[in-house]
Amino acid sequence: MSTIESNPLIDRLPEHLRQFIKPQDYTDYTPINQAVWRYVMRKNVDYLSKVAHNSYLDGLKKTGLEIENIPNMYGMNRILKEIGWAAVAVDGFIPPNAFMEFQAYNVLVIASDIRQLEHIEYTPAPDIIHEGAGHAPIIANPEYAEYLRRFGEIGCKAISSAHDYEMYEAVRLLSILKEAEGTPQDQIDAIEKKVDDLQNNMGELSEMALIRNLHWWTVEYGLIGDINNPKIYGAGLLSSIGESAWCMTDNVKKIPYNIEAAYQSFDITKPQPQLFVTPDFAQLSSVLEEFANTMALRTGGLSGLEKLKNSNALGTIELSTGIQISGVLTNVIENEGKPVYIQTIGKTALSYREKELVGHATSYHAEGFGSPIGKLKGINLAIEDMSPRDLQAYAIYEGERVTLEFQGDITVSGEIITGTRNIQGKIILISFKDCTVTHNDTVLFQPDWGIYDMAVGKKVVSAFSGPADVSSFDLINHVPSSTTIKAKKSTEREELERLYLNIRNIREGKSPFMSIEKTFENLKENHPKDWLLAVEIAELLDKENETEFLQKVILYLEKQKQNRPEVAHLISGGLELIFENESV
């Protein structure tokens, strides 16, 4: 199945997000994959009904997730549409800004691969168990869904550092190598060391690093309710049969959730030593807004520009008139703690209210853009606040030759061609010909460079990641440095898959191609390390009251527990599901 069945929310997605979407090929899922999903879901629903937030079980029903089958994304989309959401499949981790922007569009990103049986309890790689069984059910709660959408809307504007992208690439590769079978240990050790080194040398955390911490301690690993008896709502916990039990013990410290969580880093490869407990979903939104108030998105000013400049990435500066300059900021001239001139390099676009200004596309500002900011020297009235009469009085008028001296020793001298106004009538842009712009003795623009467009604004009110108008730039540039590694095929593996399929067919009332007895003998003889199929066989025999044969299978599983202590608790967990309601 190579098509993507849509829903209206997916149709609305911009092209730069669509580049991450891949079709979910349902035929890729093997009988072992289906058995892994089924085991985790049966364990989860059994256990989480006692410890998860009450929205979880309601959400399982509302989002159409089945215990017996890995979800088909296309079926999920039809059901998610009812609660105003959609889901798309992607290949593993995608960049954090993109991940959050999907959320802002009410679209859940689902890594469609599924963990190997060897990693049934936990995988650092995002997979359909984590995304489908963890994130999807809880968004059926409208208050939480709005928090998630709002988080995406704010988070995708967070300014990153070059360090963040390096960290994203390293974590993506680590998750892929750890999940892939047969990765040499020295390769895993090397990339783990790189992740550790990066984590220990983050320097001052960027906005993206801080907001990712908030995302981790809420959306992924959040607890809710009474701090002494909390419930689970974080998807990382909801989808991990190991950690959902571990987190409820006294081994994990419980801390009241507040903005300090932004400064608590995490290690994606290990169980969490502490978790944050929010009293309710309203507190999540309150802390998010508190954090957003610290972001350049809302503070603007010199500090916001410095963040954007240090990111060395495409971002947007918004001035007090509402004009938005999108490009890579390379230079900020300051005076007495305020920015007085900004300069971008390369393709730059000008916008107003997220819509590109006609005639100010990247093709026009292909070499960059520079403009003074602030008030004129000796005049208390800013240009943006001048009435038409004031503008005429100061010779800021079409056809006039004028010299404008700004605070901070920026001088613009040239002949005014025209001005551009916003919908409220405020002047937001003035264009000059034969223009020279200087800062003291430094020339910032000279007449032979062509027309000089000067943005009007007395202060920087906002600075954020990405362009104001997404259609201004070609953002179709995602080439992941690594792709997820599929399970290796072998004759032995294919034979084991056939045995799993046979038991699945029997359970579903379809014609088997081998008896249960023959399947079990084949399993014992040729696949002595596999334990999950024997658990499934025990389940079938219990239903059919095949007591004598069942005892043989249980004895075999007890031996497996002795020979492979690392999976003993998983075998016990599977047997508990079969016998917990019986007096055995």
State the Cα angle at 475 between 472 and 480, rounded to 5°.
175
- Output the pLDDT for position 454: 98
- Cα torsion 518, 521, 527, 530 to 10°: value is 90
Computed over its alpha carbons, how large is the radius of gyration of the chain?
A: 29
Token output for 445: 């623009």
Instruction: Measure the CA–CA gap between 220 and 277, rounded to whole angstroms.
Output: 12
Mean pLDDT of 499-504: 96
- Output the pLDDT for position 581: 54
Specify the DSSP class assigned to residue 446.
Answer: -
8-160+206-221: what fold?
A: Phenylalanine Hydroxylase (1.10.800)
- Output the pLDDT for position 566: 92
User: How do the residues of the chain divide into helix, strand and coil, expressed in percent and rounded to 5?
Assistant: 45, 20, 35
CA-based max dimension of the chain: 103
Residue 423 has pLDDT above 90, yes or no: no
> Per residue, what are the HEC states of 84-124?
CCEEEEECCCCCHHHHHHHHHCCEEEEECCCCCHHHCCCCC
Residue 293's CB is within 10 A of a number of other CB atoms, namely: 11
Mean pLDDT of 541-554: 92
Phi and psi torsions of 539, nearest 5°: -60, -45
Residue 410 has pLDDT above 80, yes or no: yes
* Strands in 392-490 per DSSP E: 401-406, 410-421, 427-439, 442-445, 452-455, 460-465
**Cβ–Cβ < 8 Å for 438, 332:** no
Of residues 410 and 546, more confidence is placed in 410
| Contacts (Cβ under 8 Å, ≥6 apart) of 506 | 512, 516, 540
- Output the pLDDT for position 484: 61
The secondary structure element, H or E, covering residue 243 is: helix 243-246
* pLDDT bracket for residue 478 (50, 70, 90): low
> pTM surpassing 0.95?
no
Residue in this structure with the two tokens 């059910």, named with its chain if needed: 137
* 119 annotated to a ligand binding site: no
Instruction: Measure the CA–CA gap between 170 and 196, rounded to whole angstroms.
Output: 10
- Output the pLDDT for position 2: 42
Mean pLDDT of 214-218: 95
The two beta strands, 223-226 and 274-278, are parallel
Residue in this structure with the two tokens 């249960």, named with its chain if needed: 516
* 220 annotated to a ligand binding site: yes
Specify the DSSP class assigned to residue 464.
Answer: E
Instruction: Measure the CA–CA gap between 487 and 116, rounded to whole angstroms.
Output: 8
Instruction: Measure the CA–CA gap between 193 and 6, rounded to whole angstroms.
Output: 41
Of residues 508 and 76, more confidence is placed in 508
| Contacts (Cβ under 8 Å, ≥6 apart) of 289 | none
Token output for 360: 């100010």
Range in 89-98, 143-152, 163-172, 511-520 the model is least confident about: 163-172
Mean pLDDT of 514-536: 95
* 135 annotated to a ligand binding site: yes
- Output the pLDDT for position 196: 75
pLDDT tens per residue across span 325-362: 999 999 999 999 999 999 999 999 999 999 999 999 99
Q: What are the boundaries of each domain within the chain?
A: 8-160+206-221, 296-465, 491-579
- Which 3 state secondary structure label does DSSP give 567? helix
Mean pLDDT of 139-163: 92
Token output for 252: 């994990």
| Contacts (Cβ under 8 Å, ≥6 apart) of 461 | 300, 318, 319, 320
